Structure 1
Amino acid sequence: MRKKSPQKQPNNKSNDGFIRIISGQFRNRKLPVKDVQGLRPTTDRIKETVFNWLMQDTRDAKVLDCFAGSGGLGFETLSRFAHSATFLEMDNSACAQLKTNAQTLKLNNADIHCTDSLRYLGQNTNEQQFDLVFVDPPFRQNLAKPCCDLLIENNWLSENALIYVEVESELNNLALPSNWLLLKEKVAGQVLCRLYQSQ
């Protein structure tokens, strides 16, 4: 019986199956990513743009990574000396990989929750507020606006918090909270990236 040779994954993207931390104490570390439906790691190109925007704002920040997926955004902030990062991810296998990657990096300030982000944010606990929030949901599931609304309704944001929103480019008229000031914007192919500050 002939052995099947292992199939090679098509290399459509750089570091397929991995994310790369681009700067900070874990610079150039590669972390494995699960192949999960809807999981769409932010590309290195976009990540470089975003963290150029946030260059002065990650150190000592309390970070929330909604729809964390690969954790690329949250881990990048921890590499850049954020105070802490809370990761919300609903898929069990992706969540398990986040925990493994946090252990690999020997992080004691990564708080990982295997949960639905909207359900988590729907709790009016007021036990923690965040200085920097990433809202990068799976495309075409109408999750960005309700997520942003819950951040306001349940008081998850610290004063003058920064909120990064990454959605499909056709959502350029997305109605987000009126007291958020748009600081930066970039369109890269099918992706629309915006950085807001709460007022």
Structure 2
Amino acid sequence: MTKRNKKNSKAAPTGNIRIIAGKHRGRKLPVLMAEGLRPTTDRVKETVFNWLAPYILESNCLDCFAGSGSLGFEALSRGAHHVTFLELNPDAAKQLQANKATLKADNVTICKTDALSYLKNEQQQYSLVFIDPPFRKNLVEQTAQLIDQNLLADEALVYVEMEKDNNTQQMPSHWKLLKEKTAGQVIYLLYQINKTS
């Protein structure tokens, strides 16, 4: 009994995310609560997926800083063809694997990796990309530049979530801003790629 309590006391604290709609609507998935991991709130997620509703079905998705997997699993539930999760934190990646198994999701790939390193070597093209990195690390612009090289399908959509006062991050000039909104200290934006412009 004592040993078990000791073991439990060392376990990482967990919370959960809720899938709002689609095939897995209402499912709650456990997530690791660790420094730098900020699951997108239900209110923001609902708005974002209302924006994405016409585009999500059969999309090939990339969740660059997956964390809790809140965005990627929501896309999966709503009919995405395939979702690739990138997550550096080993415990968070392990939890993503467990949640993949819970949902019996064969069309999910989870990579325990540094997102920027992965993107430098990736060849596949994506029609929907989520960029929601840890705050205060200036990762948005670097990630945008990397995926813009050759990883975006024609008219691909890119969702960006970052701190509201982070106004030095520049997106590629041919990314058209479709939607923009703020919630507290967070700004979230939806871009569409126009390669011919």
Structures share fold, TM-score greater than 0.5: yes
Contact 1:131–1:161 under 8 Å retained in 2: yes
Tell me which stretches of 4 or more aligned residues in structure 1 moved more than 6 Å. Answer: none
Q: Counterparts in 2 of 1:75-90, with a 5 A limit?
A: 75-90=73-88
Aligned to 1:57, which of 55, 58, 61?
A: 55
| Structure 1 residue 149 corresponds to structure 2 residue 145 | yes
Name structure 1 gaps, 5 residues minimum: 8-15
Identity %: 54
Shift in Å at residue 35 of structure 1? 1.4
Shift in Å at residue 27 of structure 1? 0.4
| Structure 1 residue 159 corresponds to structure 2 residue 154 | yes
Q: Which amino acid aligns with 1:68?
A: A
Contact 2:131–2:160 under 8 Å retained in 1: yes
| Structure 1 residue 138 corresponds to structure 2 residue 134 | yes
Q: Which amino acid aligns with 1:164?
A: Y
Contact 1:172–1:192 under 8 Å retained in 2: no
Contact 2:21–2:74 under 8 Å retained in 1: yes
Q: Which amino acid aligns with 2:188?
A: C
Secondary structure of the residue aligned to 1:17 is strand
Aligned to 2:23, which of 5, 16, 25?
A: 25
Cα distance in 1 for partners of 2:177, 2:125 equals 20
TM-score by length of 1: 0.89
Q: Which amino acid aligns with 1:55?
A: A
Query: Which structure dedicates a bigger proportion of its chain to helix?
Result: 2
TM-score by length of 2: 0.90
Shift in Å at residue 20 of structure 1? 0.2
Name structure 2 gaps, 5 residues minimum: none
Contact 2:138–2:169 under 8 Å retained in 1: no
Partner residue in 2 for 1:106 = 104
Partner residue in 2 for 1:68 = 66
Shift in Å at residue 173 of structure 1? 4.8
Cα distance in 2 for partners of 1:197, 1:174 equals 17
Cα distance in 1 for partners of 2:49, 2:16 equals 19
Cα distance in 2 for partners of 1:70, 1:173 equals 26
Secondary structure of the residue aligned to 1:108 is coil
Secondary structure of the residue aligned to 2:32 is coil
Q: Which amino acid aligns with 2:60?
A: K
Contact 1:134–1:164 under 8 Å retained in 2: yes
Q: Which amino acid aligns with 2:31?
A: V
Moved more, 95-104 or 170-179: 170-179
C-alpha offsets along residues 137-190 of structure 1, whole Å, 9 cap, x if unaligned?
Answer: 00001111100000012x110011000000000024521100100000001001
Cα distance in 1 for partners of 2:34, 2:64 equals 16
Partner residue in 2 for 1:13 = none
Cα distance in 1 for partners of 2:87, 2:129 equals 14
Moved more, 44-53 or 169-178: 169-178
C-alpha offsets along residues 1-45 of structure 1, whole Å, 9 cap, x if unaligned?
Answer: xxx9x99xxxxxxxx810000000100100001011100000000
